Amino acid sequence: MRTLIAYYSRTGGNEKLAKQLQERLQSDIDQIVDTTKREGPCGFLKSGLAAMLKRTTKIEFSKDPGDYDLVVIVTPFWVGNLPPATRTYIKEHKDKLKQFAILSLCGSGEDNPRALPDVEATAGKKPFASLLIKEAEVQDESTKQKIEGFIKAIQQ
């Protein structure tokens, strides 16, 4: 099964997670690049507002997700919602996603009630696997076990 890890990361945490997953799966990897500058304190606030309003943005990427059997999307959630870059990627490619999974390193992890419904509404279908990890718990042993379970689920 051909697998692509497509990731968006503003601060580097989800990028690190994506690269670790790519090494484990020996899959292809592709960065989703938001062409909108989102730096500084105002950028942070504007980014959160854009996520809350479910806005899209102009993005760059290099691999066609339609060439893969499985696409694992690694992304943060901002104010409980998809960031504009990830939302754009999913919207533009939802018909090409044969199977997809979501992996996220974010502030509230699995306690985020809006995250997966937002993904499902954007994609028009449910991810076949998902794992939302709290940033504060990324090094916990129980989190490492959850990541192993996620990897096993997507390998089957």
Per-residue confidence of the chain (156 residues) as pLDDT tens digits? 899 999 999 888 999 999 999 999 999 999 999 998 877 777 778 888 888 889 999 999 999 999 999 999 999 999 999 999 999 999 999 999 999 999 999 888 888 999 999 999 999 999 999 999 998 888 888 888 999 999 999 988
Task: State in words which class domain 3-155 has.
Answer: alpha beta
Which two three-digit tokens encode residue 101? 């999974």
User: How many whole angstroms from its chain centre is CA 130?
Assistant: 10
Structural domain spans, the chain = 3-155
Q: Where are the alpha helices (DSSP H) in the chain?
A: 13-25, 40-52, 84-93, 115-123, 141-155
Say how far apart CA 44 and CA 35 lie, in whole Å: 15
Which two three-digit tokens encode residue 106? 């974010």
- Coil, strand or helix at 44: helix
Task: Give the contacts of 46 (CB within 8 A, at least 6 positions apart).
Answer: 38
